Amino acid sequence: MNEQVAESEGVQLDAAVGSVEQASQALREAFPGKVRPDEREGYEGVIVDADALVDAALFLRDQLGFRYLSSVTGVDYANDGLLESVYHAYGAESGALVFKVQVGCGNPEIPSLVSVWPSANFQERESYDMYGIRYAGHPNLQRILTWEGFAGHPMRKDWREPYYEEEHKPFKTRHPDGGVFRAEDRNPFGRNVQYSPGFDPAKWEDIAQSAVYDGLMREVKEEGLQTETITVNVGPQHPSTHGVLRVVVVLDGETVVDLMPVLGYLHRNHEKIGERCTFPQIIPYTDRLDYICSMSNGLGYVLAVEKLIGIQPPERAEYIRVIMAELTRIVNHLMAIGFLWNDVGAYFTPVIYAFNERELILDLFEMVSGSRMMCNYMRVGGVFEDLPAGWMEKARALVYDRLPRFVDEFHRLLSENEIWRSRSMGVGILPAEQAVAMGASGPLLRASGVPYDIRRVEPYSIYDRFDFDVVVRHNADVYDRFLVRMEEMRQSLRILRQAMNQIPAGPVQTGKKNWTMKVPAGEAYHRIEAPKGELGFYLVSDGGSNPWRYHVRSTSMINLTPLAEMCRGHKIADVVVILGSIDITLGEVDR
């Protein structure tokens, strides 16, 4: 790809002033008495008073260069009667500056940071939905994963689900007295439901739908022909292959006036279930987050746990992890490109090409883990098993021969296509500034001219040992996102070749395998460059064998933040294309 640009030429984020330490020092000096260090054992960062939050955030962003707000989430410290909102902000080259705001459980209200970092938009809504923390000043503070009208805030520690059994796994027994019980049998309705006393369904007014339309902008034209706008629902069932996403679009003729993704149609309580599980029990659930990239998800999670415990996997396991993660990236990009083409109307032909190669990679996954999609292969302190006999040969044949040829062929087949170019060039522009402010990551960010790749800026595992380019392009449109993915597959192959040549022999697991483990108290946030972008895991441990808080910073959901921005002014047919170019998986969006 001759148009590829070396990373040094890309637009740089402002360099942060010094290290995170110095930054938090500067912050404390700028807001004496309002910002104090978090002194709990195993915690990092600072605690900011709610009334100083917006000023402190502006100071961080404008003076200290923390222009990327990665993650916002709530934590319920029920024992102290506190709700906490945790923020992780990054500068161009710096690590995370963690800051927190604490409020009492009674009337939790925190100023919203959407005006400072628009990337907080969906995340604050999620935190409101799950914890009931109200973010004052949020432009559209509605429930996001459950529906408007839902009773309670499910992630609160005192909220129990209808099939509640015990606080933590492992449960005592699911077959008392020799017989199995089904959760349905103990529920008076035989379903997974519960109602508060006095609830009368006959009198219920369904507000779930009407609430959705409230936050939408309806343009009133000053001059020209006065036309009426119409509101159209795309989804949750629709022929584009991005799962159960619903998008409400306000149209003037065929032109998009405003748009809002409505999420939650695949909300499966990943986090609540995670907090009931022991640390290793969560691993299979992570597979089902972004179900195309189960290996990467597992990797992100075990790295977070390892950070909390402070252990290192053996060398060989590190290499195996990188190999799996990069194979996953290839699978993901194949899918992303194939389905993107579906969306422009090349119905299933590129997908079928892509699936051919995916099948071969899935065969490799199946060999090591026993399952095609849900690999459940990463382990805290290593991987599940060593590579079976014959695996390397098969993988080499793919990586050295078949896949490079395929990527070239795919490129020839697609990139110069006239229709494709006219449908994708100049469509869905996302300028670099906006991309950073809205928390975009992964190929979406890099196609906007920001050479930000976590494998390079904050190398985890052993990524610092490999030679690869961070792919950047500058037109910030759908076509460039497509090309970034094409080229990233080549770079992944490059990493794979190096890893396969260097992989040493040895054990693949530190310590012994166990289904439960004690994890020291404290918090850890670990992010990886997943195929779709920045995937972060935030863990709080209270020293037991279950996480107190388990949060996934979901790439796909946050990458949806700029969707409205990108679509305004385009035709309705372009919405699906732009959506396809973001590359989302609903399992990860809604969790």
Partner 1 sequence: MTDELTHPNIPVPEDLKGTVTLATWEKFYNWCRARSVWPMFFGLACCAFEMIAMATSRFDFARFGMEVMRASPRQADLMIVAGTVTKKMAPQVVRLYNQMAEPRYVVSMGACANGGGPFKEGYSVVSGIDKLIPVDVYVPGCPPTPQALLHGFVTLHKMIENTKYKDMIWYHNRGQGEEFAIPVLGPDIFDPRQIPLIQSEAAKTPVAANDSE
244 is a contact residue toward partner 1 (CB under 8 A): yes
| Helix intervals (H) in 370-477 | 391-396, 403-414, 418-424, 432-437, 443-446, 454-457
Question: By C-beta, is 191 or 412 nearer to partner 1?
Answer: 191
Q: Which of 292, 303, 320, 447 binds partner 1 (CB under 8 A)?
A: 292
* Whole-number Cα distances in Å, 376 to 280, 290, 359, 367, 569: 10, 13, 18, 13, 43
Contacts with partner 1 in 322-381 (CB under 8 A)? 348, 351-352, 355-356, 358-359, 372-374
Restricting to residues 130-159, name those near partner 1 by CB under 8 A. 145-147, 149-152, 154, 158-159
For residue 238, state whether it binds partner 1 (rule: CB under 8 A): yes
Rule CB under 8 A: choose which of 78, 81, 136, 192 binds partner 1: 192
Residue closer to partner 1 (CB basis): 268 or 465: 268
Q: Which is nearer to partner 1, 348 or 515 (CB)?
A: 348
Half-sphere exposure at residue 75, Cβ-oriented, CA atoms within 13 angstroms? 26
The set of residues, in sequence order, having a beta carbon less than 8 Å from that of 120 and lying 6+ positions away, is: 69, 72, 87, 112, 113, 114, 135, 439
Q: Which is nearer to partner 1, 3 or 184 (CB)?
A: 184
Tell me: does residue 8 bind partner 1 (CB under 8 A): no
Query: Which residue pairs, CB below 8 angstroms and at least 24 apart, start in 410-417?
Result: 410/334, 410/337, 410/350, 410/353, 410/354, 410/486, 411/1, 411/486, 413/350, 413/353, 414/337, 414/341, 414/350, 414/482, 415/482, 415/483, 415/486
**If DSSP states are collapsed to H, E and C, what string results for 365-380?**
HHHHHCCCCCCCCEEC
Q: How far is the CB of 577 from partner 1 (least distance, A)?
A: 17
Q: Tokens in use for 568?
A: 């305004």
Size of the site for partner 1 (CB under 8 A): 71
Residues 302-321 that bind partner 1 (CB under 8 A): none
List the one residue from 18, 137, 236, 314 that touches partner 1 (CB under 8 A): 236
Provide the CB-side half-sphere exposure for 218 (13 A, CA): 10
Residue 198 binds to partner 1 (criterion: CB under 8 A): yes
> Between residues 26 and 266, which has the closer beta carbon with respect to partner 1?
266
Q: Does 387 bind partner 1 (CB under 8 A)?
A: no
**CB closer to partner 1, 288 vs 474:** 288
Question: What tokens does 328 get?
Answer: 């996953």
Answer for which of 197, 224, 310, 504 binds partner 1 (CB under 8 A) is 197
Between 256 and 285, how does the x/- string for binding to partner 1 read (CB under 8 A)? --------xxxxxxx-xx--x-------xx
Q: Is 213 in the site for partner 1 (CB under 8 A)?
A: no
- The span from the CA of 311 to the CA of 306, in Å, is 5
DSSP 42: T
CB-wise, 266 or 457, nearer to partner 1? 266
Stretch that binds partner 1, among 23-31, 54-62, 160-168, 483-491 (CB under 8 A): 160-168
User: In the Cβ-directed half-sphere of 486, how many Cα atoms lie within 13 Å?
Assistant: 24
One residue of 40, 63, 78, 199 binding partner 1 per CB under 8 A: 199
- 515 contributes a contact to partner 1 by CB under 8 A: no
Residues of 239-253 as b/e, b for ≥16 C-beta within 10 angstroms?
Answer: ebebbbbbbbbbbee
Confirm or reject binding of residue 504 to partner 1 (CB under 8 A).
no
Q: Would you count residue 210 as binding partner 1 (CB under 8 A)?
A: no
User: 3-state class of 590 per DSSP?
Assistant: helix
